[in-house]
Chain A
Amino acid sequence: MTFFQRVPRRAIQLACFVGAVVLVWPLLPWAIAPRFFQQISPFVSLASSIAARSIGLGAIFALIVAVASSFKKRWFCLYLCPTGFLLENTNHIGLRRTRWWSKLPPVGRYVAILTLVGALFGYPVLMWMDPLCIFSSPFAMNRATNPVSVILVSLGLGVLVGATFVFGMAWCVRICPLSGFQDMLFAMRKALWTKLTSRAPSSADSAGKLGGELVKISGVSQRPALARRAFFAGAGGALLALGARRLGAARYRKSDTLLRPPGAVPEDRFAGLCIRCNNCVHACPSKIIRPDLGHEGGLAGFGAPIIRYDRNYKYCLETCDACTQVCPTGALTALPLAQKNKYVIGEALVDNNICLTALGKKECDACEIACPYDAVKITWDEAQYISYPVVNDKCVGCGACEVVCPTNPVKSIRVWTQKPA
């Protein structure tokens, strides 16, 4: 490669990197811009479309990228990928002591296969490994409310940069599912091209051989070992998807405090569809959406967003639907404000053995005043001869009552995971 060939690539990469920052920050006045950033990735677009059984607008960009990548090998990585740009430059100044990873199989494409097969079962298992999600995640740091959140949102990119500094480009070359996916696209296009140009004469037996041909054109059939790996990856994806969905559903039934942001798909699929891009964490003006350390959602839910209501922050505002608008994968359905305000995050329950009003301690009706949905009423109970807050079915679990409740350290009114009646 000559000097003049290199410069434009660097320039394009730099421009894309700046563009990525502008989209994700977001420096545009367009609040939903971050959503289209991750959707540029054809891997995320395809896997989430399969899993959600619907195609979003962002799929257009993804299609362009996919077509371009199938003609120029790893075109996306070389020109567009901001993570790639960052890691290339890290590698430049890095130690590059070892290339042991060059002996690794191309893990990325198996990750992609596993995820896409998982997506067929509604749970794109490793979609969160997409480099664009990893890139955007640390931008949520300005909404972080504690050191744990800071570490969680910057973990992915931090590990990649660190590993690249020490080991070189292992991630980009071998592990990244997006580059693996591009390799598959390229190989498939090439195989298809060859197939079409060399025109097999007979078509009578083609139906019987279709399966074999498909394996062949998928680019993993050059060696039987590769086909076997692809098969295991696919089977693994299916099993993991089904298992994770069962565990997720079970965990939700058992949990009392698992609260997801508004618009979240049912819990069995949420942790799969969520790519940990932290767009929702970043978008939340109340700072109530936090990445989960795994306390609530388990290992599968590590890093996925949960809602926490604290004394020092606000609640899920009735004037805001930002988080639902920025989700690139549909883990949070894009809801208009009126519908978001009907989405049930959880249910507020009162412990009237802590409540200041019930215990005759204070003239307190903070929860009733705070409730934007008219769902809490301090009610006189003639039988018990005390008053306490009673929550009606208008409650969506926005947490307005919980954040204002003055009891300490445990709030008398708190939002809990909603249980079926």
Chain B
Amino acid sequence: MRRSIAAGGLFAAGSLMPVSSTLADQAGGESASQTERRVPATTTGGKVVQPRRDVPVLHKTSVLVVGGGPAGTAAAFSAKRLGVDVTLVERYGYLGGLATGGLVLGIFPLYNRENKQVIFGIGEEFMKKLDVLKYGIIDRNKPPVYPTIDAEAFKYTLASMVLESGITAYLDCWGVDAIVDSRGAVRGAIFESKSGRQAILADIVIDASGDGDIYAAAGAAFEKVKTNIGLISRIGNIDEVDMAPGRGSEDPTKPSIGRPDEGGRPSKGRVNDFSGHAGNSTPAPHVNWLNMRGPVGDALDVSDLTEFELKHRIGTWGNVEKLRQKAGNEQVYLTETAPQLGVRLSRLLDGVKKLKVDEIHGGAKFKDVIGYSGAYANAPAFQIPYGSLVPAKVENVLAAGRCISAEFEVADITRLIPVCWVTGQAAGLAAALCIQNKCKPRNVNVAKLQDLLHQQGAYLG
């Protein structure tokens, strides 16, 4: 079988086709193919052609979690606790995804309109571990102010937990394709790493890649959306101008910092001179994190991503220079830009249940509820159904995190860190149940799943 790769695309048409189902049979005898001389791609008739090759199997597991971000780590830990064999694969060199590498340090939305916390479970465990670390987390249990975590503290926490848990983890390992059997059911995934192209075989795959890379490769239907892509940064030495939120803060209990032109009529097209200071405080003293909404782009287009990676770092540097020009800010410096772009949404699964915007505003109740999202902007706290994690057609794969099945406006909330913890934990437990009961994800006993979620401390209303 020949595989042709169209120029420019991260995901070529060819790669959407399932790898030969005989792969599983061949796998055992070819694990030492690392040392074999590889046949490179060639150009034939104006096309770049990669010759057929057998993919060595790196590992066999029960539950394979692709993506080590908030959803992936939550899924892996909760599944592992049921005693099933779990493998976690992460493309970057650290765990935590956007919560650490993306510097999305604000943990929102956690609370409902009545300022009651509605997200617990594994997320609450993470935060409790951060509680005991110095400079690990601030503003815990102070609704409506959301907690802010420290990226390094969270990386440390997740790394320790992975080592303690007995999960098999592969970092710097990029999931690029699904392995699908002759009936179209997912059997594992293909990865690229410094070790080359390798396969991991699994009974259930949890796609916590954020972009839905694996379910898309397996042929599941999805909706592709484009939205803003920014790059978050941290700035240091800023406490002298602003460590007291209030002005420009949504916390009504904190005092405000006055400005000479307070309450004055702003002129149209006024340029931001950062006199309202910049960013939010973080657990690290004298350090603020600075969000960037960014322009709209295609998170599945490598040229868009490249452009943003370059321009955003230039723009951030420029804004810090501007910030430094304000009196009192002379010593401000750019601590870091996030290693990862702030991709918000790319693929949205067409699941058994697509969570609709009318439902979340109408306070819809679901029989298969697996958790809550907190209230955010104009949306109240709402229930998330298990059906949003299950693809409409493809078997043996579950979505978790920002790429679950929801309408754009809903996904714009379910993509946020603590909600990813919620969907991740549910997906992990559901996958473990599939292994234990030898069933398909769509046939999981929901009552049992909810029972397990309760046991692990999750909030289901």
In the assembled complex, the CB of B299 is this many whole angstroms from the nearest CB of chain A, namely 15
| Known pairs A351-B266, A354-B247; A361 contacts B316 (CB<8 A) | no
Q: Are A359 and B274 in contact (CB under 8 A)?
A: yes
Q: Which of B276, B292, B294 contacts A354 (CB 8 A)?
A: B276
**Which of B118-126, B249-257, B426-434 contacts its partner?**
B249-257
Cβ < 8 Å to B, chain A residues 348-367: 349-366
Q: Are A359 and B228 in contact (CB under 8 A)?
A: no
In the assembled complex, the CB of B109 is this many whole angstroms from the nearest CB of chain A, namely 10
Q: Are A408 and B256 in contact (CB under 8 A)?
A: yes
Q: Which of B251, B256, B271, B377 contacts A365 (CB 8 A)?
A: B377
B318 part of interface (Cβ distance < 8 Å):
yes
- Bound: A357/B280 CA distance, A: 11
Q: Which of A356, A357, A416 contacts B250 (CB 8 A)?
A: A356
In the assembled complex, the CB of A48 is this many whole angstroms from the nearest CB of chain B, namely 34
A28 part of interface (Cβ distance < 8 Å):
no
**Which of A169-177, A236-244, A383-391 contacts its partner?**
A383-391
B378 part of interface (Cβ distance < 8 Å):
yes
Contact partners of A358 in chain B: CB under 8 A = 272
Q: Are B265 and A349 in contact (CB under 8 A)?
A: yes
Contact partners of B250 in chain A: CB under 8 A = 356, 362, 406-408
Q: Which of B228, B273, B319, B378 contacts A369 (CB 8 A)?
A: B378
Q: Are A360 and B291 in contact (CB under 8 A)?
A: yes
Q: Are B291 and A385 in contact (CB under 8 A)?
A: no
- Bound: A356/B277 CA distance, A: 10
Contact partners of B266 in chain A: CB under 8 A = 349-353
In the assembled complex, the CB of B205 is this many whole angstroms from the nearest CB of chain A, namely 30
Interface size class, chain B: 35 or more
Q: Are A361 and B293 in contact (CB under 8 A)?
A: no
Q: Are A380 and B228 in contact (CB under 8 A)?
A: yes
Chain A proximity mask over B427-458: 1 for CB below 8 Å, otherwise 0:
00000000000000000000000000000000
Closest chain A residue, CB of each to CB of B322: A384
Q: Are B249 and A361 in contact (CB under 8 A)?
A: yes
Contact partners of B251 in chain A: CB under 8 A = 408
Q: Are B378 and A404 in contact (CB under 8 A)?
A: yes
B334 part of interface (Cβ distance < 8 Å):
no
| Known pairs A385-B315, A404-B378; A351 contacts B294 (CB<8 A) | no
Q: Are A352 and B270 in contact (CB under 8 A)?
A: yes
Cβ < 8 Å to A, chain B residues 258-289: 259, 262-263, 265-268, 270-280, 289
Cβ < 8 Å to B, chain A residues 157-182: none
- Bound: A353/B290 CA distance, A: 14
Closest chain B residue, CB of each to CB of A416: B265
> Which of B249, B291, B318 has the most CB atoms of chain A within a 10 A radius of its CB?
B291
Contact partners of A359 in chain B: CB under 8 A = 248, 272, 274, 276-279
Contact partners of B265 in chain A: CB under 8 A = 256, 349, 416
Q: Are B295 and A349 in contact (CB under 8 A)?
A: no
Report the number of A-B residue pairs with Cβ-Cβ less than 8 Å: 115
A208 part of interface (Cβ distance < 8 Å):
no
- Bound: A338/B232 CA distance, A: 43
Q: Which of A360, A369, A384, A404 contacts B290 (CB 8 A)?
A: A360
Contact partners of A380 in chain B: CB under 8 A = 228, 293-296
B387 part of interface (Cβ distance < 8 Å):
no
Closest chain A residue, CB of each to CB of B297: A380
> Which of B256, B263, B277, B293 has the most CB atoms of chain A within a 10 A radius of its CB?
B293
B418 part of interface (Cβ distance < 8 Å):
no
Q: Are B292 and A384 in contact (CB under 8 A)?
A: no
Contact partners of A366 in chain B: CB under 8 A = 377-378
A29 part of interface (Cβ distance < 8 Å):
no
Closest chain A residue, CB of each to CB of B250: A406
- Bound: A388/B315 CA distance, A: 15
Q: Are B294 and A352 in contact (CB under 8 A)?
A: no
Q: Are A387 and B248 in contact (CB under 8 A)?
A: no
B380 part of interface (Cβ distance < 8 Å):
no
A205 part of interface (Cβ distance < 8 Å):
no
Q: Are B293 and A387 in contact (CB under 8 A)?
A: yes
Q: Which of A256, A404, A410 contacts B247 (CB 8 A)?
A: A410
> Which of A359, A362, A369 has the most CB atoms of chain B within a 10 A radius of its CB?
A359
Closest chain A residue, CB of each to CB of B273: A353
Q: Are B319 and A353 in contact (CB under 8 A)?
A: no
| Known pairs A359-B248, A362-B280, A406-B250; A353 contacts B272 (CB<8 A) | yes
In the assembled complex, the CB of A256 is this many whole angstroms from the nearest CB of chain B, namely 5
Contact partners of B96 in chain A: CB under 8 A = none
| Known pairs A349-B265, A353-B273, A363-B293; A408 contacts B247 (CB<8 A) | yes
Q: Which of B228, B232, B246, B268 contacts A408 (CB 8 A)?
A: B246
Q: Are A388 and B262 in contact (CB under 8 A)?
A: no
- Bound: A198/B330 CA distance, A: 96
In the assembled complex, the CB of B255 is this many whole angstroms from the nearest CB of chain A, namely 9
Contact partners of A407 in chain B: CB under 8 A = 247-250
Contact partners of A353 in chain B: CB under 8 A = 259, 266, 270, 272-276
Chain B proximity mask over A332-351: 1 for CB below 8 Å, otherwise 0:
00000000000000000111
Closest chain A residue, CB of each to CB of B319: A385
A409 part of interface (Cβ distance < 8 Å):
yes
A149 part of interface (Cβ distance < 8 Å):
no
- Bound: A268/B315 CA distance, A: 49
Contact partners of A256 in chain B: CB under 8 A = 265
Closest chain A residue, CB of each to CB of B295: A380
Q: Are B247 and A361 in contact (CB under 8 A)?
A: no
| Known pairs A359-B248, A362-B250; A351 contacts B270 (CB<8 A) | yes
B371 part of interface (Cβ distance < 8 Å):
no
B67 part of interface (Cβ distance < 8 Å):
no
Q: Which of A361, A370, A388 contacts B272 (CB 8 A)?
A: A388
| Known pairs A360-B290, A365-B377, A416-B265; A385 contacts B316 (CB<8 A) | yes
10 sample A-B contacts, Cβ–Cβ < 8 Å, listed by A number: A352-B272, A353-B274, A361-B248, A365-B377, A384-B271, A385-B315, A385-B319, A386-B292, A387-B294, A404-B378
Instruction: Known A-B contacts: A360-B289, A406-B250. Give 14 more (CB < 8 A).
Output: A354-B247, A361-B280, A361-B291, A362-B280, A363-B106, A364-B377, A369-B377, A369-B378, A370-B378, A385-B316, A387-B228, A387-B293, A408-B250, A408-B254
Q: Which residues of A approach B to under 8 Å, CB–CB? A: 256, 349-366, 369-370, 378, 380, 382, 384-388, 404, 406-410, 412, 416
The 8 A-B pairs with the shortest beta carbon distances in the complex, nearest first, are A385-B315, A406-B250, A387-B293, A360-B290, A353-B276, A351-B266, A380-B295, A360-B291
